[in-house]
Amino acid sequence: MQQHVVVTLTDTEEEKGSEPPSTMRAEEPPSSSLNDPAVPPKAAGQWNDWRWQIRNRIRTLGQLSGYVPGLSGRDDLKSVIGKYPMAITPYYASLIRRADLSDPVFRMSVPNRQELQDPPCLSEDPLEEHVDMPVPGLIHRYRDRALLIATTTCSMYCRHCTRKRIAGTRESSISTRRLRQVVEYLQSHPEISDVIVSGGDPLTMPDASVESVLSAVRSVPSVQVIRIGTRVPVVLPMRITEDLTALLRRYHPVWINTHFNHPNELTPESAAACAKLADAGIPLGNQSVLLRGVNDQPQVIEQLCRGLIGMRVRPYYLYQCDLVRGVEHFRTSVRAGVEIMEYLRGRVSGIAIPTFVIDAPHGGGKIPVLPSYVVSMSPTHTVLRNYEGLLVNYPEPGVESMAEEPSELGASPGVWDLASGRASVIQPARTLRAQRRESIRSRRVGQATGFLFDQ
Ligand code: SF4
């Protein structure tokens, strides 16, 4: 249940969670029957044309109320859009299943007046990116990496964006002169081997501009890897054309990190876009942001991560929301993220588990935050716990055997016995794994052991 209800029609309506969703996801792309002349009529072939999608983004409240009739007359949102622009591709709008804040796609794309309510701990640029910018548009924070803001344009302006201060406020892309300065800086800093092309969303630029940026960066011999940060596979999947993938292949090694936050964003269209990129030899990672009311339930992240690996996208980071102005209503506790990590470990494969990080204020970089798995340490042993609650010790090199003395606690060793080597494991009694082992053991009674296969 959401705590703050602003854009919904009424509080009561939001609470109708048990009603069937009034889906806006049409089998076919939406037609002009979506009841507003502002919504462009579909024409054959246009829906799958990414330029058409960009040209017809929902940018005004009038257009938006064509999709969400309950928003007509919500003039209070004008000031929100005035500060933080709105743009929603018709494709992404079609993923809204219920036109209120209980819907994750709605929540991430439709402006909310809470964006203007900032507690004092928030700032425009909490990561202090502008301080780490030796030339305009290039952030150099870690020694071997740099991030290039290639454009301030996105096809969809996420309401939770960490670069709200620039995304969409003036839609423009890097000039040739600025790009030259960036190349000069990279040339004079050969320690930078990894350049992240970001924005805004760099894949909203036309192919020729994407190529200019990639060829400029690739011209620097010390740059080994180019990474592209883009939300296009999520909000504008038709942008991943054969021409674009052919272009990207020319600049390998190219990696892409995308930004899926919720399983409802995993559609046949987004899967097809990711498949094209993966088939072009581009390793794909995903950076999610932990967002209140969107994906702060462990089961939602599990479903998302399982879906992503099915699409050949490796869950990479799960970000705690930055302390950026305009996103307070999206912030969760750090505990919520730790709980999700605890839930995932042991339940899904390691390749489906992202690293939960806090991007430290003041430009401190990403700090992983984990549940605690190291229980104790001694000069000879480290005591660890697994996802089931099993406690086990790991001997340091050179520790030849377990100590001979029995546990001081007799048959019930404690953590000290593990740390000192008097016991090696404390097993929880009734785990599924223990039951499976027991059943294997009982089936094996009387059977020869030592062979994997019949002789
Ligand atoms: S696509 Fe990325 S840069 Fe653009 S608004 Fe969304 S989060 Fe921000």
Q: How far is the CA of 231 from the centre of ligand 1 (A)?
A: 7
Question: Given this model, what pLDDT does residue 207 score?
Answer: 98
Ligand 1 site-directed mutation target among 148, 155, 157, 319, most atoms within 8 Å of CB: 157
Residues 337 and 428 in one domain: no
How does the average pLDDT of the chain come out, rounded?
A: 88
Q: Which atom of ligand 1 is nearest to the CA of 154?
A: 4
CB 252 within 8 A of CB 228: no
Question: Given this model, what pLDDT does residue 23 score?
Answer: 40
Question: Given this model, what pLDDT does residue 405 score?
Answer: 64
Residues 88 and 218 in one domain: no
Of 99, 129, 161, the one marking the end of a domain is 99
Structure token pair of residue 245: 């993938």
In a domain, 142, yes or no: yes
In a domain, 81, yes or no: yes
Q: How far is the CA of 270 from the centre of ligand 1 (A)?
A: 17
In a domain, 168, yes or no: yes
Q: Give 342-391 pLDDT, tens digit per residue.
A: 999 999 999 999 999 999 999 999 999 999 999 999 999 999 999 999 99
Question: Given this model, what pLDDT does residue 33 score?
Answer: 33
Residues 283 and 195 in one domain: yes
- Active centre residues (catalytic): 141-142, 145, 154, 158, 161, 163, 322, 359, 366
Confidence of residue 319 (pLDDT cuts 50, 70, 90): very high
Ligand 1 site-directed mutation target among 57, 154, 170, 270, most atoms within 8 Å of CB: 154
Q: Give 213-267 pLDDT, tens digit per residue.
A: 999 999 999 999 999 999 999 999 999 999 999 999 999 999 999 999 999 999 9
Question: Given this model, what pLDDT does residue 63 score?
Answer: 92
Better-predicted residue by pLDDT, 404 or 116: 116
Residues 262 and 315 in one domain: yes
In a domain, 454, yes or no: no
Nearest-CA residue for ligand 1 atom 6 is 158
Q: Residue 224: which of 184, 251, 202, 197 has the closest Cα? A: 251
The pTM is what?
0.88
Q: Domains in the chain: how many in total? A: 3
Better-predicted residue by pLDDT, 183 or 67: 183
Determine the structural domain holding residue 421 and report its residue range.
Answer: 374-444
CA angle 212, 54, 311 (to 5 degrees): 80
Give yes or no for residue 12 having a pLDDT over 50: no
Nearest-CA residue for ligand 1 atom 7 is 161
Residues 301 and 411 in one domain: no
Tell me what the mean pLDDT of segment 334-347 comes to.
Answer: 98
Residues 192 and 217 in one domain: yes
Q: Which atom of ligand 1 is nearest to the CA of 160?
A: 7
Give yes or no for residue 19 having a pLDDT over 80: no
Strand order, beta sheet including 284-289 = 138-139, 145-149, 194-198, 225-229, 254-258, 284-289, 313-319, 355-360, 365-368
Helix ranges (DSSP H) in 223-373? 232-235, 242-249, 268-279, 298-310, 334-344
Q: What are phi and psi of 313, to 5 degrees?
A: -115, 120
Residues 244 and 144 in one domain: yes
| Cα 282 from Cα 230, distance rounded (Å) | 13
Q: Which atom of ligand 1 is nearest to the CA of 162?
A: 8
Q: How far is the CA of 326 from the centre of ligand 1 (A)?
A: 14
Q: Give 67-105 pLDDT, tens digit per residue.
A: 887 777 778 899 999 999 999 999 999 999 998 999 999
Q: Give 389-435 pLDDT, tens digit per residue.
A: 999 999 999 987 665 566 666 668 899 999 999 999 999 988 888 88
Residues 389 and 358 in one domain: no
Ligand 1 site-directed mutation target among 81, 163, 325, most atoms within 8 Å of CB: 163
